[in-house]
Amino acid sequence: MLRLPRGVLDIDVARDYCVGDQVTAWTTGEYLVLDLTSEDVAGDFDPDACPPLSAIVGVRAELAAGDLRPLHLAWLAGHGTAETDEYAVDRNANQDLEPPVPPGSAALTAAQRALADFLRVDDDLLAIAAQTSAPLAETTDAPGQLAAWVQDLPVAEKNRLLLRVAEDHAVTVRAEMLRRFHNEHSTPIASPPRRTVADLLDAAGRRRGDRERRVAARRAEQQARRQQDRSLAREKRIDELARDEEATWSQIDAMIATRKPREYDAAAALLTELQTLAERDGRRDAFTQRCLALRQTHARKPRLIERLDRAGV
């Protein structure tokens, strides 16, 4: 919940970004109150991942200076991320038009990024919404322009503003002056056509689907590459065995003679490699006969026989 002096943000402007009970605005006395709710619809709220309030508090000053991006983020969060389909909860609401998209929505401040994380704004929805956002106006020469603008104000206007500062309305006066200055010095930008909530959610869903397909394709490619590497390594290993197959059989006999379960596992692994070699060279029957002889020799070693059965040799 944020509380601002009434003069820094018009209640009607704030209400353009309200969404049901999730984003509400009202006035009380000299203040305007904004309630931005973060709902855990999916039930996966992680308090440790939630940004600290100190990271978000900066949006109050940004709103006071006329930056409406925090309100726009809250509006996006209020409409969720579900794509519109036959199961949409409220298709009438999905036909509502979006509010004005503030400039700079594609380049959030640190406080706004923290607010987006707190409200769990979907990154795909934010990216789609920001496509019609104008870039922030350049302000490199603003200090000199601001000083000249203040100097040119009528004396009566300066006196009025100073009196309000003395009456403890400095924040309101600053916001009002900055808004007036920016309005007089900014270049008018044609407003793009406003999109419906359904348009935004569907576009975000397509963007999400495209990204997930790209990720899946990369994973499949990586998995195929790893499988190919394993196959090449196995082929190399089989070639090495072929150079001295009898030495491998002797190694298997030595492993079995230890009567250790770990050595039994290693012996079974070597036998599977010899089986692959025999199949490759068309000597499967000879390998099978030799394995049967090995089984008969060690028939009284049930742990070994169990491992050979499991290995299929």
- C-alpha to C-alpha distance for 258 and 125, rounded to whole angstroms: 64
Q: What's the longest Cα–Cα distance across the chain?
A: 112
Residue given tokens 């999400």 in the structure block: 208
169 versus 86: the higher-pLDDT residue is 169
Residue given tokens 């990204």 in the structure block: 211
pLDDT band with cut points at 50, 70 and 90 for residue 187: low
153 versus 86: the higher-pLDDT residue is 153
For the segment 170-189, the average pLDDT, to the nearest whole number, is: 76
Could you state, in order of their start, the residue ranges of all structural domains in the chain? Answer: 2-137+187-210, 244-311
pLDDT for res 42: 52
Q: Hey, is 96 helix, strand or coil? A: coil
pLDDT band with cut points at 50, 70 and 90 for residue 96: confident
- C-alpha to C-alpha distance for 35 and 23, rounded to whole angstroms: 6
- C-alpha to C-alpha distance for 24 and 34, rounded to whole angstroms: 6
At residue 130, φ and ψ (nearest 5 deg) are: -75, -10
At residue 35, φ and ψ (nearest 5 deg) are: -115, 110
81 pLDDT higher than 60? no
Contact, 37 vs 84, CB < 8 A? no
pLDDT band with cut points at 50, 70 and 90 for residue 188: low
For the segment 108-136, the average pLDDT, to the nearest whole number, is: 93
Q: Which two tokens stand for residue 274?
A: 């010899």
155 pLDDT higher than 50? yes
b (16+ CB within 10 A) / e for 137-167: eeeeeeeeebeeeeeeeeeeeeeebeeeeee
pLDDT band with cut points at 50, 70 and 90 for residue 213: very high
Provide the strand spans (E) within the chain: 2-5, 23-28, 31-36
Distances (CA, A) of 232 to 33, 220, 224: 66, 18, 12
- C-alpha to C-alpha distance for 20 and 37, rounded to whole angstroms: 10
pLDDT for res 83: 46
Residue given tokens 């009528």 in the structure block: 154
pLDDT band with cut points at 50, 70 and 90 for residue 87: very low
Pick the closest to residue 76 from 114, 116, 49, 111 (CA basis): 116
Pick the closest to residue 25 from 82, 65, 68, 80 (CA basis): 68
- C-alpha to C-alpha distance for 255 and 240, rounded to whole angstroms: 19
Q: Which two tokens stand for residue 286?
A: 């000879």
Most confident of 77-81, 164-168, 306-310: 306-310
pLDDT for res 5: 83
At residue 5, φ and ψ (nearest 5 deg) are: -60, 140
Contact, 88 vs 78, CB < 8 A? no
- C-alpha to C-alpha distance for 307 and 296, rounded to whole angstroms: 15
Q: What is the pLDDT of residues 257-299, one digit of tens each?
A: 999 999 999 999 999 999 999 999 999 999 999 999 999 999 9
For the segment 48-68, the average pLDDT, to the nearest whole number, is: 80
Cα dihedral 95→96→102→105 (10° resolution) = -40
Cα dihedral 57→60→61→65 (10° resolution) = 150
